[in-house]
Amino acid sequence: MIGRDGLAGLVCLAGALGLLWASREIPHPPLVPIGPAFYPRLLFVATAALGAALVVADLRARRRAPPAPAQYRGVLLTFGLFGLYVGLLPLLGYRLATALFVGALQAALEPPRGRAWLRVAVVAVATSAVTYLVFERYLSVLLPRGRLTGF
């Protein structure tokens, strides 16, 4: 019997395969080595693979442990921090707001102790820097600059 996770995996698998099939209609410019369909297809293949893995994991897990209690506090906290992030984005800019958001989310979901604060800071700054470099420099996507920082 397939469980809730397996059903979610099937939905993801079917949706990703359907969108992958539909991406055949995206025209490919003759002079461009990587066309506009490359990244969406990459995403659809990854989503299909993860959906299939979820189905397989659900089918292999015959022994069902009782479900963990719902973590509504974490969900509400994440939504609140994300709303704050979206509000701070035009004021502080992508790089600073993203570093603050990632650091705050890590600290809120699993409060660090001692030297773990250093790891939180490193992960937050690295996440902001790497995503900035990939999107702004490599993919030429303009990311928000802050009105207060100009950064």
- Cβ pair 61, 54 in contact under 8 A: no
| Per-residue pLDDT reduced to its tens digit, 11-47 | 999 999 999 999 999 998 888 888 899 999 999 999 9
Predicted confidence (pLDDT) at residue 151 exceeds the cutoff of 90: no
| 78-115 pLDDT, tens digit each | 999 999 999 999 999 999 999 999 999 999 999 999 89
- The reported pTM is 0.66
Residue pLDDT, tens place only, 42-74: 999 999 999 999 999 988 886 666 777 888 999
